[in-house]
Amino acid sequence: MRIVALIPGGIGNQILFFPTLDNLKLKYNTCTIDVVCEPSSKAAYRVSKSVDDVKAFDFNDRNSMADWGNFIGMIRDRQYDIAITPSENWFTGLMLWLSGINTRVGFKGNSSLFFNHVVALNTEKYLAFTYQDLLQGLGINSISPELALNVPKPDIDWATSEQLRLEVKDTGYILVYGASVDTDTSYPGEKWLSTIQDFRQKQPDMPVVVISQPDNQDLIRTLKQDIPDIKETFPDNIGKLAGIIAGANLMLCTNSTPMQLAVFVQTYTIALFGSNEPTKLLPYSDKFLAIKSPTGIMADIPPATILEKIWQG
């Protein structure tokens, strides 16, 4: 049994599809599962326990007919038995139809014509569980909602060493992540600063560690100007990032890939949301709390609201 999953979107979206892939592996335990995703999303599969191979294809690029022809040829050559995708793009459906795969599973919508197993799309629940509905197209109804990652041992060992370097292994720590690129998924540096300073004043014995990534260097500079001794961690792959998140007492973050990792490693999380709907991106649980901006703009969330949620927790 050979299965291919075409999964659009970024790393966070790939992670949300993990339970579907895991359940496929559980159902067809001798199967091979390959994934086709955006080049920038391949890194997600370092922490997947069910995927055998990952192929990159930029679905959003201005691909020529030759590019699409090569893509179809690649799919045909692997002689897949099943194709599954959450994509609602009709062109993706067309490509799967042209690939000649016998069993093609997708959501009911614009591309339904190209699938022979169609599942109703429920947009009102947590996205990982929405994706799992696709398994109904294969007659798989006893679905486990388990959220889990497979973090490589070297990444776990790195996280342990990093906790020792930061001197937080025995005390525990609050982990903070905020991006500074997209206005819908970023929170102003001065408001993060206010939140962290207030927390440190009330809980001086609980270290605060900030995740430093290429997309948040403006935030890091803002924090270090007023808190020069703030602790920083520099995970350089998704496994290390998951490992350092797993060890935290609390993850305080924006709606982001680190938020999804925190959910999947079961770290207590408070997440900030702008225009996105939290119920679709966080499962219902006392461990995962959302603060949604009343204006739809994340920057409008007052630090006092964040602190109130922390102290309540």
Please say whether the beta carbons of 166 and 282 come within 8 A: no
Q: What is the pLDDT of residue 37?
A: 94
Please say whether the beta carbons of 307 and 199 come within 8 A: yes
Closest to 60 (Cα-Cα) out of 33, 87, 100: 87
Q: What is the pLDDT of residue 300?
A: 94
Residue type, 287: K
Please say whether the beta carbons of 254 and 233 come within 8 A: no
Task: Give just the sign of the alpha carbon dihedral 4, 8, 12, 16.
Answer: negative
| CA–CA separation, 232 and 166 (whole Å) | 8
Q: How many Cα atoms sit within 13 Å of 113 on the Cβ side? A: 9
Q: What is the pLDDT of residue 136?
A: 95
Residue 262, phi then psi, degrees to nearest 5: -60, -40
Could you check whether 2-138 and 153-312 share the same CATH topology? yes
Q: What is the pLDDT along the chain (313 residues), one digit of tens a residue?
A: 999 999 999 999 999 999 999 999 999 988 999 999 999 999 999 999 999 999 998 877 677 778 778 888 989 999 999 999 999 888 888 888 999 999 999 999 877 889 999 999 998 999 999 999 999 999 998 776 678 999 999 999 999 999 999 999 999 999 999 976 655 668 999 999 999 999 999 999 999 999 999 989 999 999 999 999 999 999 999 999 999 999 999 999 999 999 999 999 999 999 999 999 999 999 999 999 999 999 999 999 999 999 999 998 6
Residue 233, phi then psi, degrees to nearest 5: -125, 145
| CATH code reported for the domain at 153-312 | 3.40.50.2000
Q: What is the pLDDT of residue 65?
A: 77
Q: What is the pLDDT of residue 30?
A: 85
Please say whether the beta carbons of 246 and 155 come within 8 A: no
| CA–CA separation, 248 and 252 (whole Å) | 10
Q: Which CATH superfamily is domain 2-138 in?
A: Glycogen Phosphorylase B; (3.40.50.2000)
| CA–CA separation, 236 and 215 (whole Å) | 13
Quote the DSSP letter at residue 37: E
Q: What is the pLDDT of residue 180?
A: 63
Q: 275: exposed, middle or buried (C-beta count within 10 Å: 0-12, 13-18, 19+)?
A: middle
| CA–CA separation, 287 and 274 (whole Å) | 20
| CA–CA separation, 117 and 20 (whole Å) | 16
Q: What is the pLDDT of residue 61?
A: 65
Judged by phi (left if over 0) then psi (alpha if -120 to 50, else beta), residue 207 lies in beta
- Extents of the domains making up the chain: 2-138, 153-312
pTM of the prediction? 0.93
Pairing state between β 208-211 and 269-273: unpaired
Closest to 19 (Cα-Cα) out of 115, 101, 140, 114: 140
